[in-house]
A and B are shown apart, each in its own frame.
Chain A
Amino acid sequence: MTRPLDGLKILDFTHVLAGPFATRLLGDMGADVVKVNSSTRSGPMATTHPHYLMWNRNKRALAIDMSKEESRPFCRQLCERADVVIDNFSVGVLERWGVGYDTVSPSNPGVIYVQMSGMGEGGPWSDFVTYAPTIHALSGLTHLTGVPGRSDIGIGFSYNDHQAGLHSAVAILSALDCRRRTGRGQRVDMSQFEVGVNFVGPALLDYFANDHAAGPVGNRMPYDPVAPHNCYPCAGAVSENVEDERWVAIVCMNDEQWQALRGVMGNPEWSRHAKYRTAESRVENVAELDAAIADWTRQMEATKVMTICQSAGVPAGVVQTGADMAERDPQLALQKFIRSTTDEHPELGAMTVDALPLKFHGTPCDEYKRVRAVGEDNAAVLQEWLGMTAEQVQKGEEEGIFT
């Protein structure tokens, strides 16, 4: 065994981001992930689109045209040999293809089925169509992430898709451990909406227990008296464009850190005022406090502010862009977070990837295989999983089954 999940067989019917991210994680850790796709479904360019390239490394590609009735027995056999079957279609698609959990589990009682639909099975919204921005809106995440008086900001990336992928991985690995004990697999019904609502858990408990509905608070802590706790502008912008602005985040979680920050700033006169003496009073006067700190940070580059603050024990960090992380972040470089695929794509050459952020000391995960074209691994997968001969695979391809 060279990676933690070596030998685990996963049949992957996922698409877009949440599902592919789940199986990417498992593939990075050594599972044999077979991604089922078809040339009619994916379109001619889909597997070389940057978005597809980001989420589908370390998977083998099998083409099956599920619109054909004669394809379904092969698909069912694959499901019968899998440890895990995963999809993120709307509820019921695998059932319509004749490979639902109830059909497959009698002949493969150890199989784990994860169905990560938008709304889960059952309920008045079960057929609703969702992407991450939909889930953010419905779960309260968009409303809560922003500044007071606005509800049109929200999270600037597809947070919930990644979290749904991570939670799927947790569900799969937990069900596998359970199977080791009981010998039985099971079905996991994941509602990506419920995953999202879970992230505002403390705010919901506050609502139910105290009848207090939280609202957006900008960069403040929503419940605890902490100040300063914000992002502050810095020198060094190369243009007036938003993407070129430079910012630093500074947080004083306690009075000791506030006193340290005062020292770093040279104990300015304004900071001695009684209104900044306690966390509570700093929060009460936070607009004035933030403005004074911003006057100080504007004089320096963000890296300088970060360095002198951290040296004094004050939490501070450059607000990094993607370019900062890819090109200038010494920790990510040390972690080899950004690296090249271990093989070259026939059209695109060596691909740059963001590595699994986990460092397994005993079973390192250092293999990053390029994204495969639809059906590129037909022969290998069908021979290994179903024992088919090369001739049988070729015949299936000619008949439009494995395409």
Chain B
Amino acid sequence: MTETSGALVGVRIVDLTDERGIYGAKLLADLGADVVRPEPPGGDPLRLRGPHREGTPDGCSSLWHAFFASNRRFFCVDLTDDERCKQLQSIVEHADILLVCDGAFGFEEIDLERAREKSPKLVVVNTSSFGTEGPWKDYLAPDLVAGAFGGSVGTTGDKDTPPLKTFGELNFMLSGAYTAVAALSALYSARETGAGQVVDVPVNACIASCLEHVLMFVWYNERMMFATGPVVPRQGSLHWARTYVVMQAKGGSIMVTPTPDMMAQLMWLVEEDLHEDLLDDSYMEPGNHRAFVTKLMAILRKFVGMKDVEELFFEAQERHSPYGWVLPIDKVAANPQLEARDWWVPYRVGDVSTKGPGAPYRFSETPWSLGPYDGPGADSAVALAEIGWGEN
């Protein structure tokens, strides 16, 4: 068990999540909560997820698992052994928060009603694909399918590609973040009132709630300047407002936008003598804003094509224009801002140490921290003893 000083020190959590909720458990664990993650004797199936650390023994080689199952105490539970199931039930009854996903390891074996009777303050967060009822409730939905149902896939991609999944596990990182919000809000309420509760976190609705313009266009398309109907087509990086798009510069791609100050962008083009007729007063008439934006973006594409990507990015930021250099992973890894903020942290995976992502936030008094990552079943004796019963 790692000594920690995080904001959630003392909060006890049992983590019975799968991919749909595991990121939420990570957020809470990394903030100092004592999170135990029971797994089957053969090890958590998620330990098989790639990428793997080359040359590291099986069981703790998964970098995916090291990231998502950080700061946990692992211990094995043989669900065919009644005694072990009783121990799992007892652990839950000693927890502040139980995080579950329907169908995940241990979910069926927990008697939730009994646990809530014995521990009235217990918060139970159930992250499922569609909630607990309805015609699709038993549908299987890994991340790509979840994104299809939730709307993120339909709005990602280009007209000459299929609808696209976001890289990695981004749909489940939304439901994971909601899982953490649900747990902490219910914990806040339980601290105030003494009453715990169950919170359902349906993945489909979590994704649908984070699509920015998608529902906005269904309801308000008649008021949107560039709308052609209630559905915005897949259009690559082109933003629904048509004022953000990735363009090709010399040496790389860059996300270009004339917002928030279009006049400042226009003056930049004037300096470069590329403004064409954009200073024409007619463009300033309210009815011509659409034509102005369309022309401005077309000129910007020519302008960007003449520039070196790195120089353009820094000049834009110098002028307070929120351009974004499209960086591949090796350049992200070498980012000077992350280096200056001392953001990277050491990850110990098995018996080796590597560098990895740091905290998504900085607490002034209770720093985020990362402990070592262990193989299956490690720490079982400590975990069991600390909550009042030993290994036997």
Asked if A320 lies at the interface with its beta carbon under 8 angstroms from chain B, I say yes
A136 to B212, Cβ gap below 8 A?
A: no
Binary interface encoding of chain A residues 238-259 relative to chain B, with 1 for a CB under 8 A from any of its CBs, else 0 = 0001111001111101000000
The residue on A at minimum CB distance from B196 is A362
Interface-lining segment among B230-238, B287-295, B378-386: B230-238
With A186-B363, A194-B343 in contact, is A145–B166 under 8 Å at CB? yes
Residues of B near A106 (CB, < 8 A) are none
A205 to B163, Cβ gap below 8 A?
A: no
Interface size band for B: 35 or more
A358 to B364, Cβ gap below 8 A?
A: no
Residues of A near B332 (CB, < 8 A) are 138-140, 197, 200, 204
With A142-B246, A206-B63 in contact, is A319–B148 under 8 Å at CB? yes
B356 to A188, Cβ gap below 8 A?
A: no
Asked if B88 lies at the interface with its beta carbon under 8 angstroms from chain A, I say no
With A204-B356, A253-B142 in contact, is A213–B330 under 8 Å at CB? yes
Docked complex Cα distance between A141 and B332 (Å) = 10
Residues of B near A372 (CB, < 8 A) are none
Asked if B157 lies at the interface with its beta carbon under 8 angstroms from chain A, I say yes
With A201-B356, A362-B189 in contact, is A210–B328 under 8 Å at CB? no
B218 to A188, Cβ gap below 8 A?
A: no
A319 to B153, Cβ gap below 8 A?
A: yes
Selected from A147, A169, A189, A248, the residue in CB contact (under 8 A) with B364 is A189
Which B179-236 residues sit within 8 Å CB-CB of chain A?
A: 180-182, 184-189, 191-193, 195-202, 204-206, 208-220, 223-224, 228-236
Binary interface encoding of chain B residues 1-13 relative to chain A, with 1 for a CB under 8 A from any of its CBs, else 0 = 0000011111100
Docked complex Cα distance between A227 and B292 (Å) = 46
With A4-B188, A190-B361, A249-B144 in contact, is A334–B168 under 8 Å at CB? no
Q: Would you give the shortest CB distance from A53 to chain B, in whole angstroms?
A: 8
Asked if A308 lies at the interface with its beta carbon under 8 angstroms from chain B, I say no
A-B contact list, 8 entries, CB within 8 Å: A123-B337, A128-B337, A137-B255, A162-B212, A174-B184, A199-B170, A326-B215, A359-B199
Q: Which A-B residue pairs are the 6 nearest by beta carbons?
A: A223-B50, A137-B324, A362-B197, A357-B205, A173-B184, A134-B324
Known: A177-B191, A242-B235. 19 other contacts (CB 8 A): A119-B337, A126-B337, A131-B322, A143-B328, A146-B164, A151-B328, A153-B161, A156-B234, A189-B362, A194-B358, A197-B357, A207-B329, A208-B354, A223-B49, A315-B139, A322-B215, A322-B230, A334-B131, A337-B208
